[in-house]
Amino acid sequence: MKIIYFAFKHRFRYKDLNNFLNTRFYGKYLVLNLGGPFKHFIAKFFLKFRLGFAISCDGRPLISDKQKGINFFVRGTNLNIPIRFKNSSNNYVSINNPFDKEENLFQVYPININKSLVKKKLKIIYVSGINIETTEKENYLWKRNKEQIKENFTILDDKRFWKKCLNEDDFQNKYIYYRKFKLLLRFEIINYIKKNFNNKFELIGDDWKKYFNNSISSNFNPKYIKDLYQGNICLDLGSIEGSSSLYSRSNQIIEAGGLIVQSKQSDHFKVWGQLEKKVLFKNLNELKKLMNTILNDNLYSNQLLDEIYNNFSFSTKLIEKNLDMITKTGN
């Protein structure tokens, strides 16, 4: 049995890692949670005496010796790694970079999924923040490309689009526009759902109150979010940081027993396979069709929820494989 332990100081990382931290055994690995204001001191002791293999969240503490462990940047791509940490050869990220293939992706899969049934009074749930304030140039470029993007959301993950849109090669600058465009698209999608499914839609997040009076205040209690997701249609529009089907929010939805409906991400076929046409969309028409099908057929919706559950029946094996990958970093 090989020991792997998570090291981080602040408790908010618990919710980003979801059930991954609550499951101890992944094949030949025992995974320990040594995160939080007190337990991270135990992690420092383990590091000092080279006990086990560490996964340090966000480089806090920074692990410079790859024999001791990796630095895992939980909420982003290589473009999110602080400059002072970028040269470490044992950095890993959780989300695909839209402009350059990530060679150091550590994928966390949904685990210990709650097997549930859809609720009789089925709702569409969306939980997020929003910020659609733009610079003059961002506004100009968005208006010029908006209709093209709305026809096919995945164009935002196409390097050719950005080459034509900005005509420059600076990844960091393109990334600023990428993130803003994803937020602007998020607003367009939510506005569309409000118009078409308002009585069935619950929008959660303080930021939305500025635009929709009946949005619900933010509530970060994990049990509240889990109960909200369970048995409901849970909309996921991907992370603004990059393009990955499985990241903190989507894993949380799946683990809670929510029926996820997701905008298509760059790794969609690898993750969803034959379920792709049942749960993914790349424009507003596809989204509307998916929602109507699920809302109007409870038998179909329950079958689909079962298929989502079964799609991740091998998560433990996949996580073990990823743990094999990161521990080889130190060899």
Question: pLDDT, tens digit, for every residue of 237-248?
Answer: 999 999 999 999
Q: Please tell me the predicted confidence (pLDDT) of residue 34.
A: 94
The answer to whether domain 124-311 has CATH 3.40.1350 is: no
Pairing assessment for the beta strands 29-35 and 25-26 based on DSSP bridges: antiparallel
Q: Please tell me the predicted confidence (pLDDT) of residue 177.
A: 97
**What phi and psi values does residue 243 have, to the nearest 5 degrees?**
-135, 95
What b/e string do you get for 50-84 counting C-beta neighbours within 10 Å, with b at 16 or more?
Answer: eebbbbbbbbebebeebebbbbbbbbbbbbbbeee
DSSP string, 176-236: HHHHHHHHHHHHHHHHHHHHHHGGGEEEE-GGGGGT-TTPBPP---HHHHHHHHTTSEEEE
> Is pLDDT of 282 > 90?
yes
> Is pLDDT of 103 > 70?
yes
> Is pLDDT of 152 > 90?
yes
Q: Residues 6 or more apart from 299 whose CB is under 8 A from it?
A: none
Q: Please tell me the predicted confidence (pLDDT) of residue 168.
A: 80
> Is pLDDT of 330 > 80?
no
Name the pLDDT band for 171 (thresholds 50, 70, 90).
Answer: confident
Mean pLDDT value across the chain:
95
Name the pLDDT band for 12 (thresholds 50, 70, 90).
Answer: confident
> Is pLDDT of 331 > 70?
no
Q: What is the percentage of the chain residues whose pLDDT exceeds 70?
A: 99
Q: Please tell me the predicted confidence (pLDDT) of residue 316.
A: 96
Residue bearing the bigger pLDDT, 170 or 264? 264
Name the pLDDT band for 161 (thresholds 50, 70, 90).
Answer: very high
Name the pLDDT band for 167 (thresholds 50, 70, 90).
Answer: confident
Q: How confident is the model over 183-189, as a mean pLDDT?
A: 98
Residue-wise pLDDT tens digits, 29-60: 999 999 999 999 999 999 999 999 999 999 88
Q: Please tell me the predicted confidence (pLDDT) of residue 219.
A: 96
Residue-wise pLDDT tens digits, 208-249: 999 999 999 999 999 999 999 999 999 999 999 999 999 999
Query: Cβ(52)–Cβ(46) under 8 Å?
Result: yes
Q: Please tell me the predicted confidence (pLDDT) of residue 223.
A: 94
Sorted by where each begins, the domain ranges of the chain are 2-111+315-328, 124-311
Q: Please tell me the predicted confidence (pLDDT) of residue 101.
A: 77
Q: In sequence order, which ranges of 114-170 are alpha helices (DSSP H)?
A: 136-151, 159-166
Residue-wise pLDDT tens digits, 117-134: 999 999 999 999 999 999
User: What is the reported pTM?
Assistant: 0.96
